Chains A and B, each alone.
Chain A
Amino acid sequence: MRCRRLALGLGFCLLLGMALCFLWMYVENWLPFSYVPYYLPCPEIFNMKLQYKGEKPFQPVTWSLYPQPKLLEQRPTELLTLTPWLAPIVSEGTFNPELLQHIYQPLNLTIGVTVFAVGKYTQFIQHFLESAERFFMQGYRVRYYVFTNDPAAVPRVPLGPGRSLSTIPIQKHSRWEEISTRRMETISWHIAETAHREVDYLFCLDVDMVFRNPWGPETLGDLVAAIHPGYYAVPRQQFPYERRRVSTAFVADSEGDFYYGGAVFGGRVARVYEFTRGCHMAILADKANGIMAAWQEESHLNRRFLSHKPSKVLSPEYLWDDRKPQPPRLKLIRFSTLDKATGWLRS
Chain B
Amino acid sequence: MEDGPTKLPPGAYLRSSLPQDWLGQDDHGVVPQQMLETKQFSGSNCHLGTCRVPEVPRMVYAKAQVLKPTRADVLVMTPWFAPIIWDGVFDSTILDAQFQNATIGLTVFAIKKYVVFLELFLQTAEKHFMVGHRVTYYVFTDRPTDVPRVPLAEGRQLVVLEVRNYSRWQDVSMHRMEMISNFSQQRFLLEVDYLVCMDVDMKFSDHVGVEILSPLFGTLHPGFYRVAREAFTYERRPQSQAYIPRDEGDFYYAGGFFGGSVVEVLQLTTACHQAMVVDRANGIEAVWHDESHLNKYLLYHKPTKVLSPEYLWDEQMLQRPPFLRKLRYVAVPKNHAEIRN
Q: B19 contacts A71, CB within 8 Å?
A: no
Count of CB-CB pairs between chains A and B under 8 Å: 207
Q: A255 contacts B300, CB within 8 Å?
A: no
State whether the Cβ of B163 lies closer than 8 Å to any Cβ in chain A: no
Q: Which residue in chain B gives the minimum CB-CB distance to A270?
A: B51
State whether the Cβ of B8 lies closer than 8 Å to any Cβ in chain A: no
Residues of B within 8 A of A311 (CB): 53
Max chain B Cβ within 10 angstroms of own Cβ: one of A50, A80, A329: A80
Q: Are A103 and B94 also in contact (CB < 8 A) when A52-B39, A57-B35, A82-B89 are? A: no
Q: Are A62 and B30 also in contact (CB < 8 A) when A68-B250, A78-B69 are? A: yes
Q: Which residue in chain A gives the minimum CB-CB distance to B64?
A: A84
Q: A73 contacts B75, CB within 8 Å?
A: yes
State whether the Cβ of A16 lies closer than 8 Å to any Cβ in chain B: no
Residues of B within 8 A of A183 (CB): none
Q: Are A60 and B21 also in contact (CB < 8 A) when A55-B42, A79-B69 are? A: yes
Q: Which residue in chain B gives the minimum CB-CB distance to A91?
A: B66
Q: B302 contacts A61, CB within 8 Å?
A: yes
Q: Are A49 and B49 also in contact (CB < 8 A) when A80-B70, A85-B94 are? A: yes
Q: B21 contacts A85, CB within 8 Å?
A: no
Interface residues contributed by chain B, number (CB under 8 Å): 81
Q: B79 contacts A66, CB within 8 Å?
A: yes
Residues of B within 8 A of A69 (CB): 75, 78-79, 250-251
Q: A72 contacts B73, CB within 8 Å?
A: yes
State whether the Cβ of A81 lies closer than 8 Å to any Cβ in chain B: yes
A61 to B76, CA, bound (A): 21
**B 22-61 to A, binary, CB cutoff 8 A, 1 in contact else 0:** 0000001110110111110110101111111111111111
Which residues in window 38-72 of A have CB below 8 A to B? 49-62, 64-66, 68-72
CB-contact partner of B33 in A54, A60, A78, A273, under 8 A: A60
CB-contact partner of A232 in B38, B54, B66, B69, under 8 A: B66
Q: Indicate the size class of the contact surface on chain A.
A: 35 or more
Q: A80 contacts B301, CB within 8 Å?
A: no
Residues of A within 8 A of B267 (CB): 57
User: Min CB distance, B254 to chain A, in Å?
Assistant: 14
A257 to B109, CA, bound (A): 42
State whether the Cβ of B68 lies closer than 8 Å to any Cβ in chain A: yes
User: Min CB distance, A160 to chain B, in Å?
Assistant: 24
Residues of B within 8 A of A223 (CB): 53
State whether the Cβ of A96 lies closer than 8 Å to any Cβ in chain B: yes
A71 to B64, CA, bound (A): 22
A254 to B225, CA, bound (A): 39
CB-contact partner of A82 in B76, B94, B215, B299, under 8 A: B76
CB-contact partner of B68 in A59, A77, A90, A95, under 8 A: A77
Residues of B within 8 A of A308 (CB): 53-56
Residues of A within 8 A of B247 (CB): 64-65
Q: A86 contacts B64, CB within 8 Å?
A: no
State whether the Cβ of B167 lies closer than 8 Å to any Cβ in chain A: no
Residues of A within 8 A of B226 (CB): 71-72
A-B contact pairs, 17 of them (CB 8 A): A54-B42, A58-B301, A60-B301, A61-B299, A61-B300, A64-B28, A71-B75, A71-B226, A74-B72, A81-B76, A82-B83, A83-B64, A85-B94, A95-B79, A222-B44, A222-B53, A307-B55
Q: 12 other contacts beyond A71-B225, A72-B225, with CB at 8 A cut-off?
A: A50-B50, A50-B51, A58-B301, A64-B28, A71-B226, A78-B69, A79-B69, A95-B81, A99-B80, A218-B81, A233-B67, A273-B51
